[in-house]
Amino acid sequence: MRLVIARCSVDYSGRLNAHLPLATRLIILKADGSVLIHSDSLSYKPLNWMSPPCSVAIEVPEEDAASVGVEEQWRVTHAKTGDTLLVRIYEVIHDSAHDLGVDPGLQKDGVEKHLQELLAEHPATLAEGLTLVRREFPTAIGPVDLMCRDAAGLSVAVEIKRRGDIDGVEQLTRYLELLNRDPALTRKGAVTGIFAAQEIKPQARVLATDRGIACAVVDYDALRGLDDPSHRLF
Amino acid sequence: MRLVIARCSVDYSGRLNAHLPLATRLIILKADGSVLIHSDSLSYKPLNWMSPPCSVAIEVPEEDAASVGVEEQWRVTHAKTGDTLLVRIYEVIHDSAHDLGVDPGLQKDGVEKHLQELLAEHPATLAEGLTLVRREFPTAIGPVDLMCRDAAGLSVAVEIKRRGDIDGVEQLTRYLELLNRDPALTRKGAVTGIFAAQEIKPQARVLATDRGIACAVVDYDALRGLDDPSHRLF
DNA sequence: CATTCGATGTCGTCT
DNA sequence: AGACGACGTCGAATG
């Protein structure tokens, strides 16, 4: 990894055109060839970047560029899309290279997959007497997160989201529409739906209710408490 | 901006829990207080980070941490959500600080808004004889990108996307459902829809067709060619 | 290889 | 502040 602090201007040309006027910035050149341009604020996201696979070519600045003080010019080109990032260096303030080695990677806990696992183990927290039939129940338009059966023996499709948005309700609606055409599932009565999320947006709740879909706000920590603590990662 | 290359382990606790085992990484401390942890690959996105507003506290490592070689311990806490990032430093390899000043910011050109402007000027490229009634036609559930009239004088709602996904079809469907309840618009006949995008995904096309919504693939460059070249930014 | 879908999405914009 | 859509979304999993 090479770190360069420099006064520079940057032009990106690809899915859109973008220009960064002359200013002092951090330029990161990673081992995989990728390039990141960071300013001192506006965190997380670089101002400009190029993802791998890409290559960096050192160019001789055009005459007019050189005349206004461009010392170096790097052209970063994406190998597949042809997107380019043109970095014009006016003054290098810092330049250092470091060998970081391979990173062992990030371990995560608490994403939607875990929520699904926990709810699959404790379906009754969604509705009294609900039991699991199967997780990732396959349909022609994708898998239903949880297929359950209620106390009366009727099929219940559960869609799980971390954040319950209008999109999730639309998704569950499409599943229910399809499932209710299946005679095997609807023998005893219509398949109903439960929209389960850690947080449900008001508009999503209104739409779900309007369509006869139940909403369930899920308490992740409480669910985890129900689970065997020895299974926790942290 | 402070740049630290160090052997470190990191733990994030907030919307989820995440752990980074001991390895050599780049730690960026920005002027606004934000912190970014980068490895030498997996570009663009940091492995771990904290967005502003947040504060960094230097802690004395716990005894057991110190005994395994932790020299410094930084706790970054988000001011609002309380999310924390705990960085344990085992060895500092590089440490430098730089004054970058304020960045003038990024200038962008050429996204969906531009596409909408171009199509508003050339609605006939979507369908023979189509004319614009108004852009951003207001409805109770949000503005319709373009409201047009076809050769027969019937109302046509146009939804514009850069990438035509299933979500866009759902959105247009909701608009059409609402618009078709308006007597003023449906006097001559039902309001129809056109789903316009630079690229339309197969599933979206199927859904749109199934609902009687026309699809139009838009050629951005050709449209720009129709436009006055002197209006271009680049 | 293409496609789909989640994300500590992030970011702008408007109510 | 909350809601909503766009994003150079990115990135992983999957067929």
- CA B108, distance to chain mean position in Å, is 14
Query: What is the pLDDT, as a whole number, of residue B29?
Result: 96
Distance CA A77, CA A180 (A): 51
Cβ neighbours around A57 below 10 Å, total: 10
Residue to test with chain B: of A8, A13, A103, most B Cβ within 10 A: A103
B15 touches strand C (CB under 7 A): yes
A18 min Cα distance to partner chain B (Å): 4
Torsion of CA B26, B32, B34, B35, to 10 degrees: 20
For the segment 30-59 of chain A, residues whose CB is within 7 A of strand C = 42-45
pLDDT tens-digit profile of A36-68? 999 998 889 999 999 999 999 999 999 989 999
Pairing label, strands A155-164, A192-200: parallel
pLDDT tens-digit profile of B118-139? 888 899 999 999 999 988 887 7
**A202-210 and A166-179 are packed helices; what angle lies between their axes, rounded to 10 degrees?**
20
Of B12, B87, B9, the C-alpha closest to A111 is B12
Query: What is the pLDDT, as a whole number, of residue A228?
Result: 61
Two structure tokens written together for B141: 């559930």
Query: What is the pLDDT, as a whole number, of residue B217?
Result: 86
Work out the pLDDT band at B219, boundaries 50, 70, 90. confident
> Contact A49/B44, CB-based, under 8 Å?
yes
Q: In the Cβ-directed half-sphere of B161, how many Cα atoms lie within 13 Å?
A: 19
Average pLDDT score over chain A: 91
Of A150, A189, A195, the C-alpha closest to A175 is A195
Query: What is the pLDDT, as a whole number, of residue B171?
Result: 86
With CA of B42 and C1' of each nucleotide, the nearest comes out as: D11
Question: What is the CA angle A89-A93-A95, rounded to 5?
Answer: 85
Of A216, A209, A211, the C-alpha closest to A173 is A211
Residue A234 has pLDDT above 60, yes or no: no
Question: Which of chain A's residues have a Cβ under 8 Å away from the Cβ of B42?
Answer: 32, 103
pLDDT tens-digit profile of B56-80? 999 999 999 999 999 999 999 999 8
A105 min Cα distance to partner chain B (Å): 6
Give kind and range of the element (H or E) at residue B113.
helix B112-121
Q: How far is the CA of B145 from the C1' of C15 (A)?
A: 18
Query: What is the pLDDT, as a whole number, of residue A84?
Result: 94
**What pairs with residue B131 in β-bridges?**
B149
Question: Which of chain B's residues have a Cβ under 8 Å away from the Cβ of A25?
Answer: 100, 103
* Strand D footprint nucleotides (protein C-beta < 7 Å): 2-12
Q: What percent of chain B has pLDDT over 70?
A: 95
B206 touches strand C (CB under 7 A): no
pLDDT tens-digit profile of B164-212? 888 888 888 888 888 898 888 899 999 999 999 888 887 788 888 888 9
Residue to test with chain B: of A7, A30, A163, most B Cβ within 10 A: A30
Task: Considering any atom of strand D, list protein residues whose CB lies within 7 Å.
Answer: A 12, 14-16, 18, 48-51, 78, 83, 85, 166, 201-204; B 42-45, 108, 111-113, 142, 161-163, 167-168, 171
Q: What are the Cα distances from residue A92, in Å, to A4, A7, B10, B38, B92? A: 7, 7, 31, 22, 24
Q: How far is the CA of B127 from the C1' of C5 (A)?
A: 33
pTM score over 0.95:
no
Of B30, B22, B29, the C-alpha closest to B71 is B22
Query: What is the pLDDT, as a whole number, of residue B144?
Result: 87
SS (H, E, C) B134-186: EEEECCCCCCEEEEEECCCCCEEEEEEEEEECHHHHHHHHHHHHHHCCCHHHH
Of A41, A52, A3, A34, the C-alpha closest to B106 is A41
Give kind and range of the element (H or E) at residue B67.
helix B63-67
Two structure tokens written together for A151: 């106390």
Taking C1' of D8 and every protein CA, the nearest residue is: A15
Q: How far is the CA of B142 from the C1' of C15 (A)?
A: 11
Query: What is the pLDDT, as a whole number, of residue B209?
Result: 86
Q: How far is the CA of B61 from the C1' of C5 (A)?
A: 40
